[in-house]
Structure 1
């Protein structure tokens, strides 16, 4: 299978996963099952037909309206589907160039799905559910182990502990600045970035704080937030991590090399 064909397959997979993540983001915070009952219109309650449940295309065919009650369907649904598909394709491009990269692909695709789900939920309800975060630790550890690089696994473990400890100190010293869910998520971010390089961890963590700070300033400047307004930090943590994983981590590697590390 060529890299282009593989990326196309992963893109389609990402579209389907994105459709499922819409369900996860809606139901998990409410404590509902993500497998039953079938998806239905939140306004009229009619079950969504299979032909209308095709990622992105279903929304376009319906012109953004429910087939039964004609009420608008949020554009967020196709945007999440398309965004997840694009993210999966970028991950395939990042890791699909060599044999070791293909072995890492399941781990980073899983982390991508987890990242999207947590970002959506944090934006909606300002929570990072343990039911998603905690099981991700053993699952991602197992998938990374398939990569077979012992040194990288040790680095991932140290990255998880190190970044987790740093976030814990920040949370303990200034508990209003972030939630404890961010502390638990930081271990995942630390592991998945440090597995690649220490520079990737450095850039991923740094960008998370920078992006969060910039967003906070913009929200205050636009009058949509004040000094004490709680801004979800999870989305910026995963955005910073993925910026580093997909390429920006090389800046961190260059910086550490210039210091002699």
Structure 2
């Protein structure tokens, strides 16, 4: 089952906005140089090793540009790929293939990079109970693809935006006058609006963990920038009362130790803000 944000409407809106950004009043390079009636084929070549992502989206992009384009997918989202693999072929009007080319590549290259890094981190915490989460540290107007890529790589989506879950972070707590005030004000707000949203509270030390436990009425406690030793103590304090999430500068070198503290989730902003894209290219072939 796909997450709520991956609706046909949302994906179509994203594709149409991206095409408007790129095409403007016309793909004049293709319109000027390629005969309108020309029919051709192209192969999407993999030029790096990793996890492929964005194939399903690429099909949608080609279809949006020209419903008559024929796409044959040879590899699926989530498959391990290596240099020289062919992910798909597209056949049809040459002008249409060229117009869709860059958007397809831009999306698939970045999505594949995210999926690859996500898979590498999930492998590092294999055998523990911890699940890998993404964050809202995404590219504006490209979040739908980046969150999707995390799922393809084996990770779990955190909240999609500010609207579908409440996280009371350090600034919220400080502005509100402490954890108790922040949580109680939030509970009253949700009751007043008739909203049913999960509440997560960020904590920076064991004292704040105890404050969160005391006020209660929350769903998850975030353990931010704590050492593994402190995190383990916090997990023991919390027990099974609330879910736990580790956050803050977690790297490939530290993620295993964090997972072994017993936390339920580990959020890593680098999944979407610091990845290297997988190189892909669309190469013309003759029919």
TM-score, normalised with respect to structure 2:
0.29
* Greater share of strand: 2
Q: Give the structure with higher Rg (CA).
A: 2
* Greater share of helix: 1
TM-score, normalised with respect to structure 1:
0.31
Higher relative contact order (CA 8 A, sep 6+): 2
